[in-house]
Amino acid sequence: MAQDFNLQQYLTKGVERVVANAVKATLKNPKESAFMLRFAAASRAASKKRAAAERQGRHIPAFLIASITSSCNLHCAGCFARSIQSTTDCAPVDQLTAEEWFSVFDEAEEMGISFVLLMGGEPLLRRDVIEGAGKRPHILFPIFTNGAFMDESYFSLFDECRNLLPVMSMEGGKSVTDARRGVGVHEKLTANMDECRRRGLVFGVSVTVTKANIGEVSSGPFVKELSERGCKAVIYVEYVPVTEDGKNLAPGDEERELLRSAINCLRAECPETVFLSFPGDEKSSGGCIAAGRGFFHINSHGGAEPCPFSPFSDTNVRDSSLGEALDSHLFQSLRNGDYLLEDHAGGCVLYEKRSQVEALLAR
């Protein structure tokens, strides 16, 4: 890592760029553009809070990932969450209440966290939490959903609360999406997109990137079709292998470079769309940005984890503050050691080093 690399500056500029691009992407939609301009002001204020904390020797990330439920209605092939049994069919026992999640959101805003990514399971199963998130306009809540429960009621809520941004998961075209997620899923997703466009709602798409689909999902025709349906954000998430066979699908350095180059071209060719990559070019950010370097994860039971793909925790927000979770032994050990800095296969360095992370918890 370069000696003069400044992580806080890198991430702050990244947040500012995302917000600026989002404002540009909504200029033809007065209602959405007005919200994004207000959020841009709130985001700048949050950046100042984080910068002030940095001067005092404390790093606050701009992003929090919140898995608000572990229940899901789909059985996607190769699902990481189901493989580690963090996602189930039935309603989970002892998950955080809506009020407990609201406390997490409020503390996040006070700390200067601008983005809270709502995940699951299937997050739209927690209508109570989604509604409460909508009442916190200074935070942008991208909702990573399989789209099955998007109906008239949710479309109306998204229209009323513009800080709720549905991000629908797909694998590419109809055949590959239905093959992994189930017959009829692609048709439901495209119908959702068309309804969002009809209502003037901003939405995004999340794509799990593998060696098998990287050519299609990073291509101009695929992105053009999404753009024509009104999509304003495309988020690429690298596939994390959970079996030996799955390792053959995990993107390597060659695929990451291909994706990076493709995203650079797409940003230039499609300025109306925001393109993000997770974990993206980790070398540009000095290594993996989990464990509070750039984001951290709260699971459905309140456990503070480095990221959704590293389900290890020594702190629960039921027993501690969000700030205390950031300063936990596990997080500090990961940030201060070399766990986040090395090259790795697949989308998560900490999943690959899970035995070392488990050893940290035993100390």
Whether residue 5 is predicted with pLDDT greater than 70 in this model: the reply is no
Instruction: Please report, rounded to a whole number, the percentage of residues in the chain having pLDDT higher than 90.
Output: 54
User: Across residues 247-256, what is the average pLDDT?
Assistant: 82
User: Across residues 183-191, what is the average pLDDT?
Assistant: 97
Q: Are strands 204-209 and 164-170 parallel, antiparallel or unpaired?
A: parallel
Cβ-contact 124, 167 below 8 angstroms: no
Peptide bond into 279 cis (omega under 30): yes
| Residue linked to tokens 């901003």 | 202
Cβ-contact 36, 87 below 8 angstroms: no
Whether residue 243 is predicted with pLDDT greater than 70 in this model: the reply is no
CA distance 357 to 277: 24
Whether residue 1 is predicted with pLDDT greater than 50 in this model: the reply is no
Whether residue 281 is predicted with pLDDT greater than 70 in this model: the reply is no
Find all residues with CB under 8 Å of 153, minimum gap 6, and list them: none
Token code pair at residue 166: 């549905």
User: Across residues 91-118, what is the average pLDDT?
Assistant: 94
Which residue segment(s) compose the domain that 165 sits in?
Answer: 7-362
- The per-residue pLDDT for range 209-226, each reduced to its tens digit, is 988 899 999 999 999 999
On whether residue 283 sits in a domain, the answer given is: yes
Predicted confidence at residue 162, as pLDDT, reads 93
Predicted confidence at residue 282, as pLDDT, reads 56
On whether residue 2 sits in a domain, the answer given is: no
Q: How confident is the model at residue 3 (pLDDT cuts 50, 70, 90)?
A: very low
User: Across residues 12-23, what is the average pLDDT?
Assistant: 70
CA distance 1 to 284: 9
pTM: 0.91
- Closest by CA position to 132, among listed 107, 103, 152: 103
User: Which residues share a beta bridge with 209?
Assistant: 238
Predicted confidence at residue 225, as pLDDT, reads 94
On whether residue 130 sits in a domain, the answer given is: yes
User: Across residues 283-301, what is the average pLDDT?
Assistant: 83
Find all residues with CB under 8 Å of 265, minimum gap 6, and list them: none
* CATH number of the domain that residue 275 is part of: 3.20.20.70
Predicted confidence at residue 2, as pLDDT, reads 41
CA distance 235 to 244: 26
9, 60, 131, 259 from 14: Cα distances, Å: 8, 14, 28, 18
Q: How confident is the model at residue 344 (pLDDT cuts 50, 70, 90)?
A: low
On whether residue 1 sits in a domain, the answer given is: no
53, 127, 280, 296, 342 from 285: Cα distances, Å: 19, 35, 9, 15, 12
Token code pair at residue 185: 């899923």
Give, to the nearest 10 degrees, the angle between helix 329-336 and helix 354-362: 130
Number of neighbouring beta carbons within 10 Å of residue 47: 20
CA distance 45 to 111: 11
Question: Which one-letter amino acid corresponds to residue 231?
Answer: C
Whether residue 245 is predicted with pLDDT greater than 70 in this model: the reply is no
Total domain count for the chain? Answer: 1
User: Across residues 237-256, what is the average pLDDT?
Assistant: 78
